[in-house]
Structure 1
Amino acid sequence: MFSLPLKTRFALLSLVVSVLLIGIKFYAWLLTRSQAVLTDALESIINVVASAFALYSIYLASLPRDENHPYGHGKIEYLSVGFEGGLILMAGVYIFYSALQSLLHPHAIERPDWGMALLFATALVNLGTGFLLVRAGREHHSPTLVGDGQHLYLDAVSTLVSCVALLLVVFTGNVLYDSLAALVLGVFIVVNGYRMVRRSVSGLMDEADTATVQHVVAELQEHREPAWIDVHNLRVVRYGANMHIDCHVTMPYYFSLEQTHDQVHRIEELVDQEFDVQVEMFVHADPCNFSACSHCHMPDCPVRQHAFSQEIPWTLANVVKNERHQLVEVE
């Protein structure tokens, strides 16, 4: 196990913990016959299936690029999150239906003290494991680990609600608290399952990562050089832990191919050093025209047709557009 990659170790830890805890929860249900405990145990089945899929997806995501996957296999991590969210949604719907039936036909709760003790122990384990997975996922930019850890947080909350329900049954003698808790958990699980599916779709559909794009724009603006007359059509796409960036940069049209290549390389190095993940950046160099003179402060430009007027600041709003910036029209 310790020779495995770090992300794989955490995914394997999640799977092992899920398998152990599901056995404890079903034993707690056999002792108590509580609907809330059964709800929690059924939701934990999803943990096992999801953790197994997460482990496989992390293995796939670690594979190098090949002819069929020129951008690598990182997208599988978003699919893993969506798969887990879909399972949670289905479980939540069933749990909600089962809780309604229990509310209409309540039954006695047996040995709630033992049930509470076992469930509380599993909640602590899930909270600790979930914390480790989320932290590792964010450090290594793995959506799968973050999603799996957040699912364990969700499972811990479900377990604690079940404990509270059993406690209320003990002190009040009213078994309806058990069914009401299961009903609340059903709604809670459905909402969180939907959020996971939404996050998965966002990643698979390459929804804009505004924070990352803003970071790239800010770095380009802060370190902009005279030869970088204009930046536009900037796009950032994530492939699991890796990132692909492309943009258009307007440069003096009289630059040689070697000069242009050097400037492109400077831009790529500037962006690459700002991120602790693998960044693949493509810069398309556009030749300038005379409409750019008014916002170009290239020193000793031999072809300038307009005096420099003002610099156009690069912002999130204007850099992502597929159009050059200009202050005056070509005469």
Structure 2
Amino acid sequence: MKRSSSNIAFLSVASNSLVVLLKVSVGILTGSVAVLSEAIHSALDLLASFIAFISVKVSGKPADDDHPYGHGKIENISGTIETLLIYVAGIWIIYECVHKLISPEPIKLPLLAIGVMLLGALINFVVSRIVNKEANRINSVAMKSNAFHLLTDVYTSLGVGLSLILVAVTGWTFLDPIIGIALALYIMIEATKLMKEAFPPLLDARLNKSEEEEVFQAIRTFQSEYIEIQCFKTRRAGAHEHIDFHLIVPPENSIKSIHHLCDRIEDKILEKFPNAHIMIHPEPDGLQER
């Protein structure tokens, strides 16, 4: 499974390398600022794909002496960096578009530029679907962010291609930078949504309310065998949930029966969160008041 995820992450690196090479070459040949701006965007996507590839390999490593809680947060770090790169790409595209509005330039070989934009969009659309499917399967924040990077490249490539077609047909050069600015603003808005998913786990933010309710539902399956739950805590690191709570049990229960209860509760939670790390601290009723 890890090998499959790494191979799919590397696929995005390979596809982005090809797309960047094509866009840079054609941007230089045609003199199109829009194509060169899109090449810069794709280059940032390439860097993001490489970061995701590394993070998927590292986050899959088991816990060790230096990292007793595992390496899951590398995915959140990766996702945050990738999101910041989207902002950088958006700002750069807007800058280039404003410059082109002020100093319009003719585009040479527009059909070649249009063809490369459409080809790049097709390649990244196919790869983004593959990456996103694997990201959902393993619940990888880094791969989800990478899939979104690829999808934004599809939209911006199509947008640039459309603007080049309109410019070629109408001669209205101002359409190119205006469409570019609109697309840049769109991807920056979408990047904000990704940031909300990737960054909070770095601060050990709790799971969302619906996820915590699922955990409570699993625990309440055994509510006749314990008294109450205290000190309930949750957090996420990459694809792993960390769940920690105190289980208040009748004082007359044996250690063996309590241990068995904790095992069954863990198994029930794992049915809904198979990657969860669960820590249950059982306490006899009355002891917690001392």
TM over 0.5: yes
Q: C-alpha offsets along residues 192-211 of structure 1, whole Å, 9 cap, x if unaligned?
A: 34443343211212222223
Q: Distance in 2 between matches of 1:7 and 1:207?
A: 26
Alignment partners' CA distance in 1, 2:207 and 2:223: 26
Per the TM alignment, residue 264 of structure 1 is displaced from its structure 2 partner at its CA by 1.5
Deviations 1:87-136 (A, max 9, x none): 22122212212211111111112222221122111101111101111110
Question: Residue 19 in 1 paired to residue 17 in 2?
Answer: yes
| Equivalence for 2:95 | 97
Aligned to 1:287: 284
How many residues are aligned here? 287
Partner of 1:219: 218
Aligned-residue Cα RMSD (Å) equals 2.0
Kindly provide the amino acid, as one letter, of the partner of residue 282 in structure 2: A
Which amino acid letter does the alignment assign opposite residue 171 of structure 2?
A: G
Computing the radius of gyration over CA atoms, which structure comes out larger, 1 or 2? 1
CA distance, structure 1, for counterparts of residue 108 and residue 213 of structure 2:
57
Q: State whether residues 34 and 178 of structure 1, in contact with CA within 8 Å, keep that contact through their aligned partners in structure 2.
A: no
1:66 is matched with 64
**What CA deviation, in whole Å up to 9, does each residue of 1:43-96 have, x standing for no partner?**
001011111121111121122211111110110011111111122212221221
Q: CA deviation at 1:4?
A: 7.1
Q: Which 5+ residue runs of structure 2 have no aligned equivalent?
A: none
SS of 1:108 mapped into structure 2: coil
- Counterparts of residues 106-185 of structure 1 (less than 5 Å): 106-185=104-183
Give 5+ residue unaligned stretches, structure 1: 290-322, 325-331
Alpha-carbon offset, residue 217 of structure 1: 1.5
Relative to structure 1, the CA distance from residue 112 to residue 75 in structure 2 (aligned partners, 3 Å threshold; closer, same or farther) is: same
1:261-280 equivalence runs, <5 A: 261-277=259-275, 279-280=276-277
Aligned to 1:243: 241
TM-score computed with the length of structure 1 as normaliser: 0.81
Which deviates further from its counterpart, 234-243 or 170-179? 234-243
Range that drifts further, 147-156 or 58-67:
58-67
| Counterpart-to-counterpart distance in 1, 2:36 and 2:109 | 14
Q: 1:4/1:276 Cα in 2 relative to 1: closer, same or farther (>3 Å)?
A: closer
Q: Name the CA distance, whole Å, in 2 between partners of 1:91 and 1:116.
A: 21
User: Residue 220 of structure 1: SS of its match in structure 2?
Assistant: helix
Query: Aligned equivalents of 1:60 and 1:140: distance in 2?
Result: 14
Question: What are the superposed Cα offsets for residues 140-171 of structure 1, whole Å, 9 maximum, x if unpaired?
Answer: 12111111011100110110111111111122
The answer on whether the counterparts of 1:103 and 1:179 sit within 8 Å (CA) in structure 2 is yes
**Bigger CA drift: 58-67 or 156-165?**
58-67
8 A contact 2:247–2:282 mirrored in 1: yes
CA deviation digits over 1:285-322, x for unaligned, max 9? 23225xxxxxxxxxxxxxxxxxxxxxxxxxxxxxxxxx
Say if 1:11 and 1:145, in contact at 8 Å, map to a contact too: yes
Q: Which residue of 2 aligns with 1:231?
A: 229
CA contact (8 A) 2:205 2:236 kept: no
Name the stretch that deviates more: 189-198 or 114-123: 189-198
Q: Which residue of 1 aligns with 2:80?
A: 82
| Alignment partners' CA distance in 2, 1:160 and 1:12 | 24
Following the alignment from structure 1 to structure 2, what is the Cα–Cα distance between the partners of residues 247 and 96?
A: 49
Alpha-carbon distance between aligned partners in 1 of 2:2 and 2:280, rounded to the nearest angstrom? 36
* One-letter code aligned to 2:215: V
Judge conservation of contact 2:2–2:57 (CA < 8 Å) in 1: no
Q: Which has the higher helix share?
A: 2
CA apart distance, 1:42: 0.8
How far apart are 1:232 and its partner, in Å?
Answer: 3.3
Aligned to 2:36: 38
TM-score, scaled relative to structure 2: 0.92
Distance in structure 1 (CA, Å) of the matches to 2:60 and 2:264: 29
Cα distance in 2 between the residues matched to 1:228 and 1:4: 38
What is the aligned-residue identity percentage? 26
Q: What is the CA distance between 1:214 and its match in structure 2?
A: 1.9
The amino acid of 1:220's aligned partner reads: I
